[in-house]
Amino acid sequence: MSDTDDALPTPLNALHRRLGAKLVPFAGYEMPLQYSPGIMAEHLHCRAKAGLFDVSHMGQIVVTARSGDVADAARALERLVPVDVLGLGVGRQRYALFTDEAGGILDDLMVTNLGDRLFLVVNAACKVADFAHLKAGLGAECEVRMLTDRALVALQGPEAGRVLAGLAPATADMRFMGVREVEVAGLSCMVSRSGYTGEDGFEISVPEAGAERLAEALLADAAVAPIGLGARDSLRLEAGLCLYGNDIDRTTSPVEAALTWAIQKVRRAGGARAGGFPGADRILRELADGPERLRVGLLPEGRAPVRGHSPLFAAESGGEAIGEVTSGGFGPTLGAPVAMGYVPAAMAAPGTRLFAEVRGKRLAVTVAAMPFVPNGYKKS
């Protein structure tokens, strides 16, 4: 959070105010926490129909190889991430991680191959540091440009596909992690079929001047409701998705964070382009031997939520803490509390019973597989 006086407005600030949003400072921006229906109603609406999120605070960055060959930009970016960027097809997007020399996570991001350039979406709180990191790491071979004249909105939920296809028919046959440059409501947009809720949906990069027009066109459909940060957090938690600064940071490796699915075989030991990224020694070692701890899902018993930073114990009384909750709250879809956190690898099996300390009392929690709610991604 940041000081309200210093918080910047997004291009949709006036619309949020007209819609009655409760605005709060977040990552340097004035953002909607919730609207009049409230967080739980917004969460359930997104799961049942479609929700519109303002994510314009995120960083949008373009990386272009000075040679003009996008493959050169991909090779250069692979020096900073343990991910197969070179093998990413045109019009496809991939989850990636910036790592440091100790194997910790500097940020998580999305990378898209647009054919002639790479397009990156990074977290709001990290975008200035990420931009500098990219300039330092790629500057000799690539032009790195922060887009400051575009907004970003997310349309999420089971009716998102129908709604967007009504405005942009070319999006109807898109599948998960596909990206297209299309016209939406008369505006030139970059659309990815992805999101942060576990539902089918889209993230739409739009010229800043047309952001309100796009949002109003989407909200004109009765199935679409505006959704704030509160429900965005509970939706991503039910989906088992990490929040940078809570569940992952420089103290966590991708292997500890259970993000090994994001490291393709070609970047692992024995792969054609194994290693070569910051922290490779540790990360490849943990891939081979296993980490000492793991991020796991946790289902608290009873109705009381277990929040982030709650210590975890192996027994109901006595002993030292063996781990910590990193995110937790009430899951409206499940009608029960959910959480995630780090535990020793030996205690990471689903069904393991542990105890979280909440206000001086230890509450039983059970290690559980994630996502807590099945995802609705359109993969075919």
CATH number of the structural domain spanning residue 346: 2.40.30.110
What digits encode the pLDDT tens for the residues 306-338? Answer: 999 999 999 999 999 999 999 999 999 999 999
| 338 domain residue, yes or no | yes
| 257 domain residue, yes or no | no
Q: What span, in angstroms and rounded, lies between the C-alpha atoms of 377 and 174?
A: 11
Q: What is the pLDDT of residue 377?
A: 97
| 100 domain residue, yes or no | no
DSSP assignment, residue 124? G
| 26 domain residue, yes or no | yes
Three-class SS state of 278: coil
Query: Do 48 and 171 share a domain, yes or no?
Result: yes
Query: Do 227 and 304 share a domain, yes or no?
Result: no
| 215 domain residue, yes or no | yes
Q: Is the pLDDT of residue 73 over 80?
A: yes
**Tokens matching residue 246:** 């809570």
Query: Do 43 and 158 share a domain, yes or no?
Result: yes
Query: Do 30 and 166 share a domain, yes or no?
Result: yes
**Residue 3 — pLDDT band, cuts 50, 70, 90?**
very low
Mean pLDDT score across all residues of the chain: 97
| 276 domain residue, yes or no | no
Final residue before a domain boundary, out of 223, 238, 253: 238
Range of lowest pLDDT (4-18, 218-232, 340-354): 4-18
Using CA atoms, how far residue 69 sits from 65, 73, 118, 276, 277, in Å, is 6, 7, 11, 21, 21
Final residue before a domain boundary, out of 221, 238, 255: 238
Q: What is the pLDDT of residue 4?
A: 54
Distant-in-sequence, close-in-space partners of 23: CB < 8 Å, separation ≥ 6:
13, 16, 17, 30, 31, 32, 33
Query: Do 39 and 159 share a domain, yes or no?
Result: yes
Query: Do 192 and 303 share a domain, yes or no?
Result: no
Q: Is the pLDDT of residue 10 over 70?
A: yes
Query: Do 34 and 160 share a domain, yes or no?
Result: yes
Q: What is the pLDDT of residue 5?
A: 64
Which residues constitute the domain of residue 361?
Answer: 292-380
CATH number of the structural domain spanning residue 177: 3.30.1360.120
Final residue before a domain boundary, out of 238, 256, 277: 238
| Mean predicted confidence (pLDDT) in 44-51 | 98
| 177 domain residue, yes or no | yes
| 303 domain residue, yes or no | yes
Range of lowest pLDDT (5-9, 81-85, 211-215): 5-9
What digits encode the pLDDT tens for the residues 275-296? Answer: 999 999 999 999 999 999 999 9
Q: How many domains does the chain have?
A: 2
**Residue 2 — pLDDT band, cuts 50, 70, 90?**
very low
Q: Is the pLDDT of residue 1 over 70?
A: no
Q: What span, in angstroms and rounded, lies between the C-alpha atoms of 78 and 76?
A: 5
